[in-house]
Structure 1
């Protein structure tokens, strides 16, 4: 009977550890991406210039707002 208790406690601890680790990692990544967005206005402007487009501020603002909507 004691063996079953040990196995059950071990499985419960493993499941709780995995769940807790997932939520902690998810929260960390969300705060990291909020502080360090993957693309900012300067990077977007440089990419558009490399593609041969002359970016206007209006176009950059539209693309940034669309990217922000996609992230949320």
Structure 2
């Protein structure tokens, strides 16, 4: 009975620790490699039929960076 309880606690601790390690790794990965850059944003806007100005691109990048933090 005691071995089962210790096993369950070890399993829960391992799952929690794995979750936090994976979360930290993904956050650092996304900081180093942002999913969208200015060139991608400009291309997407042109594909949607918009004429992207640098001001609009900067505003959208700031909004996305603010959302990521």
TM-score range, shorter chain: over 0.9
CA RMSD of aligned residues (A): 0.7
For residue 70 of structure 1, report the CA deviation from its aligned partner: 1.1
TM-score normalised to the size of structure 1? 0.91
Runs of at least 5 residues in structure 2 that lack an aligned partner in the other structure = none
Runs of at least 5 residues in structure 1 that lack an aligned partner in the other structure = none
Larger gyration radius, structure 1 or structure 2: 1
Aligned pairs, number? 69
* 2:23 aligned residue: 26
Structure 1: distance between partners of 2:21 and 2:35: 21
TM-score normalised to the size of structure 2? 0.94
* 2:57 aligned residue: 60
Residue 29 of structure 1: SS of its match in structure 2?
A: helix
For residue 6 of structure 1, report the CA deviation from its aligned partner: 0.6
Once superposed, which parts of structure 1, at least 4 consecutive aligned residues long, lie more than 3 Å away? none
